[in-house]
A and B are shown apart, each in its own frame.
Chain A
């Protein structure tokens, strides 16, 4: 309790601080939380997923935060959310009910190298840090690297672009670690990939105008989720398919998840306020995390109530 209780959730932290905090969370909630080492980043950093489980091999909800490293509010929300899940079990009846039926797996720093780089060298870094053969430009957009419409026009073939798709699908260890884990698990029922900013809730597809077979249900759930989120601080989200709501995006995590049988696949774009972009003041971390929690709970309850 002293470790994670004294931690400041209303400031941004380095990857070392976050990983150290994870150690504290494990000590504090040993019966509920475990850490899974799902792989290593390009530069050799460990990639951790936190598993919140009451035992048994239950169907799972996957949540990842921070695949784009400069979106700091996302990783910070991930940290707050992890503590919220752990501290709410046995206290909050809705969350307890969810964890009695499902596991929650949370990857707080999906792009560790990029995140470290934003702290050390370039706050505006978005991509991974892998070297691209034949180019002086570094990094791949890990949200264009998934095997779903990979390489289409909603991504770039130029290694210098912020949306460079990489040499081949799942070329990035940060991506294939997640792919391997989810496929090996085999019972993931929802994948919630959290980004910032622009306040949107997006679902498949991004690479095609075709509507997903579950389009109506995904739309209705997005509406409920956006309403729940807005109920706390009035933050307005738009929602819809990625391609119809923002633009064509190829090779995204959400599309990959859906195509691999994970029906409840959403991308969140957390708040901005229209003034700060990626430099959201730290005082907004907790309000953002609190409203996001209501949204996550809406999706998780739906998943629990609609097994498939």
Chain B
């Protein structure tokens, strides 16, 4: 299985359409390999972005330098996936 160790999911809140456009720019930066779980759509809707560990700082700096508020929705994606895998194994054993 591909691992997601250290990947985080950030929840960004765009204040206006200009910030939404900035998030769309981020989406277009394919080299970062960010994965939009919930894409930029409207200012009142959160935008959830899975960010690979390797570019985490880069993306956070990008958001901060564009004054886009964000919080960390998932600290470590792999931890949740490991838990999920463990739950499946326990259920299978049961």
Residues of A at the B interface (CB closer than 8 Å) are 8, 10-12, 120-124, 158, 160, 162, 197-198, 246-247, 274-279, 281-282
Q: Is the interface of A mostly helix, strand, loop or mixed?
A: loop
Chain B residues in 8 Å Cβ range of A124? 2, 4, 35, 50
**CA–CA, A274 to B36, complex, Å?**
15
Chain B residues in 8 Å Cβ range of A8? 91, 94
**CA–CA, A164 to B61, complex, Å?**
28
Residue in chain A with minimal CB distance to B89: A11
A-B pairs with beta carbons under 8 Å apart, 17 shown: A11-B88, A123-B1, A124-B2, A160-B30, A162-B35, A246-B45, A247-B41, A274-B46, A275-B73, A276-B74, A277-B9, A277-B38, A277-B48, A277-B50, A277-B73, A279-B74, A282-B84
Classify chain B: how many residues form its interface, as a range. Answer: 20 to 34
Chain A residues in 8 Å Cβ range of B35? 124, 162
Q: Which of B2, B45, B84 contacts A121 (CB 8 A)?
A: B2
Q: Which 10 A-B pairs have the closest CB atoms?
A: A11-B91, A247-B41, A279-B80, A122-B2, A246-B41, A277-B37, A8-B91, A282-B87, A123-B81, A12-B88
Other A-B contacts than A8-B94, A12-B84, A279-B81, 13 sampled, CB-CB below 8 A, are: A8-B91, A160-B30, A197-B37, A247-B39, A247-B40, A275-B73, A275-B74, A277-B37, A277-B73, A278-B37, A279-B80, A279-B84, A282-B88
